[in-house]
Homo-oligomer: A and B are copies of this chain.
């Protein structure tokens, strides 16, 4: 894939799989094994997931924020890697990290390195501003 093809591929993954929650589409994007190399605060940090495991993570991650949306701020691609800076928002409709639903619209930002081999995603390395998110979830 060219850098532009890699960026389009990751944009499609975020839109179809994460924004729409399309479980069937995930197979077109994921390699048989997907490694969460580094993702502080994510319950699957460090895990190697097969496609069923990834779908389980997707369902459980989307449940507290069913209308969640990622929007891409910037993306840089080179040699099998795509770095994506993003903003995210969603309404808090289910328990997350022990916090019962608040109904609030929560905003967050993060950056992810996605790794691509043979046209499929093999994993990511991610940082998100989880302190900023917790402050919104727990504000008085």
Are A111 and B109 in touch, CB under 8 angstroms? no
Judged by a CB distance under 8 angstroms, whether A78 is at the interface is yes
Of A40, A77, A83, A109, chain B has the most CB atoms within 10 Å of the CB of A83
Judged by a CB distance under 8 angstroms, whether A131 is at the interface is yes
Are A76 and B81 in touch, CB under 8 angstroms? yes
Are A111 and B127 in touch, CB under 8 angstroms? yes
Are B40 and A78 in touch, CB under 8 angstroms? no
Copies of this chain assembled into the complex: 2
Provide the bound-state CA to CA distance between A79 and B83, in Å: 13
Total number of A residues with any Cβ neighbor in B under 8 Å:
28
Judged by a CB distance under 8 angstroms, whether A3 is at the interface is yes
Instruction: With A38-B109, A131-B41, A131-B134 as known contacts, state yes or no: A83 contacts B76, CB within 8 Å.
Output: yes
Instruction: With A83-B83, A83-B113 as known contacts, state yes or no: A76 contacts B74, CB within 8 Å.
Output: no
Are B134 and A74 in touch, CB under 8 angstroms? no
Are A113 and B40 in touch, CB under 8 angstroms? no
Which parts of A108-133 form the interface with B (CB within 8 Å)?
Answer: 109-113, 125-132
* A137 nearest CB across to chain B (Å): 12
